[in-house]
Amino acid sequence: MTAPNRRTGKPQPEQRRAFERPGTVRIRSTEFQMGTEDAAGFPADGEGPVRDVRVDGFRIDATAVTNREFAEFVEATNYRTDAETYGWSYVFHLFLSRETLHRTPQRPDQTPWWAPVTGASWETPEGPNSGIDERLEHPVVHISWHDASAYCTWAGTRLPTEAEWELAARGGLEQQRFPWGNKLTPKGEHRCNIWQGQFPDVNTGADGWVSTAPTNAYKPNGFGLYNVSGNVWEWCNDWFSPTHHITAAPNNPIGPEHGQRRVLRGGSYLCHRSYCNRYRVAARSSNTPDSSSGNLGFRCVDGSPRTATS
């Protein structure tokens, strides 16, 4: 039986056929070294130890899901995101007027650069009077894990496991810091959309963008994936744990059966080496499944849900 639409209560339209849709990349079954013991990393996040992992073949989107694609989903289903349901989402302070900031004085103590803005959502990223007409090919943001999963169900896809995501993001390189190698800007060339300047008050935009960039900006990695470092954080299917992976099955590993937070990978346009050096391919983060902000997005994988094997 088809589940009812969250916004209207009516049955949702049938899934669209998506298995061979354009823009997917085939990742062959392979073994790789997952994790890192990089001195620039965060051991408490569970980035290490480095371990041999085998992942069966799958197809993954070359880019994150765009505003255009998410709008198609909403048009077909009248889906209502968590941010729309709650009535607010987090927006980075530099994107807001002084008047708006004055109306949102209660910002998180540890991350005061985030402002909870009434009316901010995927369609109005900076709140009322903002829009996505000029950003249709940018990644959709203000997306919770619940929202990403709902899109995948409609599209006939799923979210990647953390192991699948890291294998694909590495682009065939072993134990390199970034998808293109160990140097952040080889020969002075910017390869990703991250913070340039003094965080959190001065972003020079030297890499070309101060907020999201188009999903196909910069050069792809060796597998053909774009923006797996920076731009937007990407949800994975796994529950987050800083230790579970140490004893997890080496073949098609997945996170723990239960948890409070889901895995996020890739970093975002707000990452900077001074506070969030997590745009490295082995870096990890997490958030609660209903959380949303102006730098949370996702990409999809084709295939059945992954299960671990010993």
How confident is the model over 111-143, as pLDDT tens digits? Answer: 999 999 999 999 999 999 999 999 999 999 999
| pLDDT band at residue 99 using 50, 70 and 90 as cut-offs | confident
Is 20 or 246 the better-scoring residue by pLDDT? 246
Residue 59, C-beta contacts closer than 8 angstroms, at least 6 positions apart: 19, 24, 25, 26, 27, 301, 302, 303
Can you list the domains of the chain with their CATH numbers?
24-76+139-302 (3.90.1580.10)
Report pLDDT for 5. 47
Report pLDDT for 100. 86
Report pLDDT for 20. 41
Vertex 46: Cα angle to 40 and 50 (nearest 5) = 75
Please report, for the chain, how many H helices and E strands are present, in that order. 5, 13
- The predicted model gives 236-243 an average pLDDT of 97
Is the whole-model pTM more than 0.75? Answer: yes
Cα–Cα dist 39/132, whole Å: 39
Cα–Cα dist 251/83, whole Å: 36
Report pLDDT for 98. 86
Helical (H) or strand (E) element with 116? strand 114-118
Cα–Cα dist 161/225, whole Å: 16
Distances (CA, A) of 80 to 210, 221, 297: 28, 34, 16
Peptide linkage before 242 cis (omega within 30 of 0): no
pLDDT tens per residue, range 47-75: 999 999 999 999 999 999 999 999 999 99
pLDDT tops 70 at residue 2:
no
pLDDT tops 90 at residue 105:
no
**Burial class, 265, CB count within 10 angstroms (exposed 0-12 / middle 13-18 / buried 19+):** buried
| pLDDT band at residue 275 using 50, 70 and 90 as cut-offs | confident
Residue 183, C-beta contacts closer than 8 angstroms, at least 6 positions apart: none
Report pLDDT for 22. 54
pLDDT tens per residue, range 143-177: 999 999 999 999 999 999 999 999 999 999 999 99
Tokens of 250: 């080496």
pLDDT tens per residue, range 203-236: 999 999 999 999 999 999 999 999 999 999 999 9
Contact status, residue 70 vs residue 299, Cβ threshold 8 Å = no
Report pLDDT for 104. 83
Count the Cβ atoms, other than its own, within 10 Å of residue 77.
Answer: 20
- Length, in residues, of the chain: 310
Mode of pairing for the β-strands spanning 58-61 and 88-92 = unpaired
- Calculate Rg over the CA atoms of the chain: 19
Cα–Cα dist 221/96, whole Å: 33
pLDDT tens per residue, range 8-38: 443 444 444 443 445 999 999 999 999 999 9
Contact status, residue 255 vs residue 244, Cβ threshold 8 Å = yes
Mode of pairing for the β-strands spanning 233-239 and 296-297 = parallel
Q: Each residue of 171-197: b (16+ CB within 10 Å) or e?
A: bebebbbbbbeeebeeeeebbbbbbbe
Tokens of 33: 């070294």
The mean predicted confidence, pLDDT, of the chain is 91
| pLDDT band at residue 106 using 50, 70 and 90 as cut-offs | confident
